[in-house]
Chain A
Amino acid sequence: MRFSSFTYLVGQGLHNLRANRLMTFASMGVLTVCMLLIGAAYLLGVNIDAMVEYIGDQNETVVYMNLDATEDQIAAADSAIRSTAHVVGVTYVSPQEVLSIYSDMLADYIDLESAFSSDNPFYPNYRVVVDSPDNIPTVKQQLEQIDGVYRVNAPLDLSNIFVSLQRTISYACYAVVGVLAIVSIVVINNTIKITVFNRRKEIGIMKLVGATNGFIRFPFFVEGVTSGLISAAIASGVVCGAYYALCRWYAENPTTLSQMFGGQLVPLTEVWYYIVGGFALLGFVLCGIGTATSIRKHLNV
């Protein structure tokens, strides 16, 4: 295609955008709303993920060694725990350290240190951090096999709740994104169909004087993609702006509940490029599909 033809076709597409401004405005409105909802679903999913991860990190799995475990056994267990898959952090707490912790806590009531100086009842233990709540059950099983281990306490119930919550929300978000993507395609498809119908005479003439299908399709493609990208720009601005404000408000108004989940949302700096890039891609692809499917019938002249 000649450059002059390319610029002409782009110009025609933009001209059509202005000429059909009412329909363009309506489809861009629907598309923007769809993108806003998709953006909200995405951010909800990302934050739930982050919160579950945070809580997972806070809930340590505790490996209690036998009371009579020898130093060699403890050292061997140490390296066995560290080499277990999905284990990301290991801290050894000796019986003496446990005693000191409880002794400090109960200092006002009793002198635990002197009471148990000769007969410390606390188990030597390892505080183990697992990379994801998903992996806690497997890790627990592996840790129980290690020689000298008395018991493994893992926050399984809590992790199960978080994992199932995370999955449900993820599926719900995918479903929302899927449904809204279909709605967007239908809306774009209808807008382009109306435009094509209004210009069917012109298309017929173009075909009869020897225009290729690509030549006829291109301005409609430009029209669809431009409205998709404008919608993406508006939706990106609104979602990023609103999320920035929400992040600030969330951090400035802490509650017990919010503190439990880490006290802050995933920062905008970590997600903005996914939002802008995703919307631009969504606008481009959805409008491309919408254009391609709506014009096909009118090209059979």
Chain B
Amino acid sequence: MIDFEHVSKTYETHNDENVALEDINIHIDEGEFVFILGHSGAGKSTFLKLIQMEEKPTEGRVLINGQDLTKIKRRKVPYLRRQMGVVFQDFRLIPTMTVYENVAFAMRVTNISTKKIKARVPFALSLVGLEDKMDRLPDELSGGEQQRVAVARALAHGPKIIIADEPTGNIDPEMSLDIMQLFEAINKVNITVVVVTHEHELVNKLAAKYNNRVITLADGMVASDTAHPEVARRYAAKVAARSHDGYDDE
């Protein structure tokens, strides 16, 4: 479903190069629930931008459902994005639209008929427990509720993949668990879920409970992958070699 094959991404600044990702190899299967864990600067945002086609890799290729994103034509990008539902840390709801309109709006832009929108928006909102707050504006909701609206919006057009970028970053701890459990429920209906976060404790707790796969990024590399223990050994060897090179240089 999602494949990263020897993917590297380097950002060029005025007189410097910033390596965000280095030789990343990840395969995520259909229906998997994966946490992408890492500290700030580990390469999580770049990882997401590559999936969402906001950026292109410097080397290697990214595939979604077998489609090579490095070769896809620009005008085809919107249609590929429709296969995903994205949840952002800052919710990205439109403040002048009601809860209903925010969800309907995302469906409108993907050219879904009004009849379907009328049927599916209340359904999506009922899945996240907000069917009684359809007419509220986002500012009238708590952080957790706003994030649930964002989840409903991501789900409404029936995507095959849900991508969440630090979904608990702006909400309190009790709500965080609720949101994560919501993703677990979504995953139960065979939707692939990729949650990118830096919250180790929350991830450890949930991964232990639901047996989720956890991929840890560090310095732009895959430091560990619970589905592939050998990755951690390779990473450790690479780090050791680097520090050895460092001593040699000195």
> Hey, which bits of chain A sit against chain B, CB under 8 A?
1-2, 4-5, 8, 201-202, 204-213, 215-216, 301
Complex-state Cα separation, A201 to B96, whole angstroms: 12
Closest residue of chain A to B156, judged by CB? A209
Complex-state Cα separation, A209 to B87, whole angstroms: 10
Which one of A2, A8, A202, A212 contacts B78 once the chains associate, using CB atoms below 8 Å?
A: A212
**If the complex has contacts A201-B94, A202-B94, A301-B54, are A210 and B108 also in contact, measured as CB distance less than 8 A?**
no
Which one of B85, B86, B114 contacts A4 once the chains associate, using CB atoms below 8 Å?
A: B114
Whether B111 lies near A1 (C-beta < 8 A) is yes
Whether B81 lies near A210 (C-beta < 8 A) is yes
Top 7 closest A-B pairs, CB basis?
Answer: A211-B109, A210-B82, A210-B81, A4-B114, A209-B106, A210-B78, A212-B78
Residue B209 at the A interface, CB < 8 A? Answer: no
**Which B63-80 residues have a C-beta within 8 angstroms of A?**
75, 78-80
Residue B92 at the A interface, CB < 8 A? Answer: yes
Note all chain B residues with C-beta closer than 8 A to A1: 111
Closest residue of chain B to A216, judged by CB? B109
Interface residues on B, range: 20 to 34
Whether B114 lies near A201 (C-beta < 8 A) is no
Q: Which of B85, B111, B113, B153 has the most CB of A within 10 A?
A: B111
**If the complex has contacts A2-B113, A4-B114, A301-B54, are A208 and B108 also in contact, measured as CB distance less than 8 A?**
no
Whether B54 lies near A210 (C-beta < 8 A) is no
Note all chain A residues with C-beta closer than 8 A to B54: 208, 301
**If the complex has contacts A208-B86, A209-B86, A210-B82, are A201 and B92 also in contact, measured as CB distance less than 8 A?**
yes
Note all chain A residues with C-beta closer than 8 A to B109: 206, 209-211, 215-216
> Hey, which bits of chain B sit against chain A, CB under 8 A?
52, 54, 75, 78-82, 85-86, 92, 94, 106, 108-111, 113-114, 153, 157
Whether A205 lies near B78 (C-beta < 8 A) is no
Note all chain B residues with C-beta closer than 8 A to A202: 94
Q: How far is the CB of A179 from chain B (nearest CB, A)?
A: 36
Whether A210 lies near B110 (C-beta < 8 A) is yes
Pairs A–B under 8 Å by Cβ, sample size 29:
A1-B111, A2-B111, A2-B113, A4-B113, A5-B108, A8-B114, A201-B92, A201-B94, A202-B94, A204-B92, A205-B92, A205-B94, A206-B109, A207-B81, A208-B54, A208-B81, A208-B86, A208-B92, A209-B82, A209-B157, A210-B79, A210-B109, A210-B110, A210-B157, A211-B109, A212-B75, A213-B75, A216-B109, A301-B54
Complex-state Cα separation, A215 to B86, whole angstroms: 19
Note all chain A residues with C-beta closer than 8 A to B157: 209-210
Whether B92 lies near A5 (C-beta < 8 A) is no
Whether B81 lies near A209 (C-beta < 8 A) is yes
Complex-state Cα separation, A301 to B81, whole angstroms: 12
Q: How far is the CB of B83 from chain A (nearest CB, A)?
A: 8
Note all chain A residues with C-beta closer than 8 A to B85: 209
Complex-state Cα separation, A162 to B232, whole angstroms: 92
Q: How far is the CB of A240 from chain B (nearest CB, A)?
A: 40
Note all chain B residues with C-beta closer than 8 A to A204: 92
Whether A209 lies near B111 (C-beta < 8 A) is no
Whether B113 lies near A208 (C-beta < 8 A) is no
Note all chain B residues with C-beta closer than 8 A to A205: 92, 94, 106
Q: How far is the CB of A124 from chain B (nearest CB, A)?
A: 79
